[in-house]
Amino acid sequence: MDFQAFFLILATLSLDYLVATASVPALFAFGDSLVDAGDNEHLNTQARANHPPYGIDFENHQATGRFSNGCLVVDLIASYLGLPYPPAYYGTKNFQQGANFGSASSGVLPNTHTQGAQTLPQQVDDFQSMASQLQQQLGSNESSSLVSQSIFYICIGNNDVNNEFEQRKNLSTDFLQSVLDGVMEQMHRLYEMGARKFVVVGLSAVGCIPLNVQRDGSCAPVAQAAASSYNTMLRSALDEMSSTHQGIHIVLTNFYDLMVDTNTNPQQFGFEESTRACCEMGSRVLNCNDGVNICPDRSKYAFWDGVHQTEAFNKIAAARWWNGTSSDVHPFSIGELAAL
């Protein structure tokens, strides 16, 4: 059975209805290398995916700055919404259908990012500047309406937690709280700027990435425990924000469990390999360099390099988050958020 095709069918069962009733004019994305669509190409940083074999399965087989062989989850969510892929903020002047502020190697905390990458607060600063441009282009009423009806997609914190794990092999509750406080502060800023619809991607199973898996293929327990604790804290904070902020709607996606399930039972998802990267030299390092050997069938691998997933995995994640159950999304799906 083609399990990847099965998950896509599930996602499209109510897709026509949801897209037809959705009033989502734009998608704005914030985050790290799981989101970056090319912003780092315009920044003074070496955290870039601007060379082959990155993008080998993307449009025109082009390396665009995306850390994958093909589409990112946020690209696929945009397609479900009937929108174009959110363009890299620094590479476009037309923001009326969205923009991608994601910056590879970035984090929430100021000391997480690689030099030159944009932290989450800086990305929100960029959105604030963009919102001013929209107001000048569209007028106050129309620009406010666009922002309030748009979806704000946030995927951040993975580098904060992973870097702390790599450096200290220990992650305290105080550290996790500092990351969470930073995320919530920026969400409050976006809310004050008119954002009302949020998708927050839960922290990944950082102990399960090829960079961190143990020799037997199991996930690193310390990193896993920290990621699980953070996600519990995040869910509580988002529930509180939902109950105290008028007109807000927040979807929390379950990235962690999907990665754990893929690690322990890859065949269930149509994968043959879930602990090693498709890019052979990428399993124990971040990047996949030009000229190295890559797996011939990317659809059978969950990971493209030592940190980032393949397009095949991303399609499964997008499908489950768009139209999934309570084990995938909380308190409802992205498709339901789009229809509000």
Give every CB contact of residue 318 below 8 A, 6+ residues apart in sequence: 11, 73, 76, 77, 80
Q: Give the per-residue pLDDT at 285.
A: 57
- Consecutive sets of 10 residues in the chain, 340 residues long: mean pLDDT of each? 52 46 86 96 91 94 95 98 96 92 96 88 98 95 97 97 87 96 98 98 96 91 96 98 98 98 96 92 68 92 95 98 96 96
Structural domain boundaries of the chain?
27-339
pLDDT tens digit sequence for 143-164: 999 999 999 999 999 999 999 9
Nearest to 70 by CA among 92, 80, 85: 85
Candidates 3.40.50, 2.60.40, 3.30.1050, 3.30.420; correct CATH number of 27-339? 3.40.50
Q: Cα 258 from chain centroid?
A: 13
Active site (catalytic) residues: 33, 305, 308
Q: What is the C-alpha separation between 214 and 324, in angstroms, rounded?
A: 30
Q: Do 201 and 155 form a contact (C-beta atoms < 8 A)?
A: yes
Nearest to 316 by CA among 9, 53, 61: 9
169 phi/psi in degrees, rounded to 5:
55, 25
pTM of the predicted protein model: 0.93
Q: What is the C-alpha separation between 289 and 49, in angstroms, rounded?
A: 9
Q: What is the C-alpha separation between 118 and 101, in angstroms, rounded?
A: 8
pLDDT tens digit sequence for 7-59: 554 444 444 444 434 579 999 999 999 999 999 999 999 899 999 999 999 99
Nearest to 124 by CA among 58, 180, 195: 195
Cβ-in-10-Å burial (0-12, 13-18, 19+) of 267 comes to: exposed
Q: Letter for the amino acid at 35?
A: V
Q: What is the C-alpha separation between 53 and 281, in angstroms, rounded?
A: 12
Give every CB contact of residue 167 below 8 A, 6+ residues apart in sequence: none
Q: Give the per-residue pLDDT at 21.
A: 42
Instruction: Give how far Cα 37 sits from Cα of 86, 132, 287, 320, Å.
Output: 8, 23, 16, 22
**Both structure tokens of 109:** 């905390």
Q: Give the per-residue pLDDT at 13.
A: 46
pLDDT tens digit sequence for 164-181: 998 887 789 999 999 999
Q: What is the C-alpha separation between 311 and 73, in angstroms, rounded?
A: 8
Cα angle 10, 11, 13; round to 5: 65
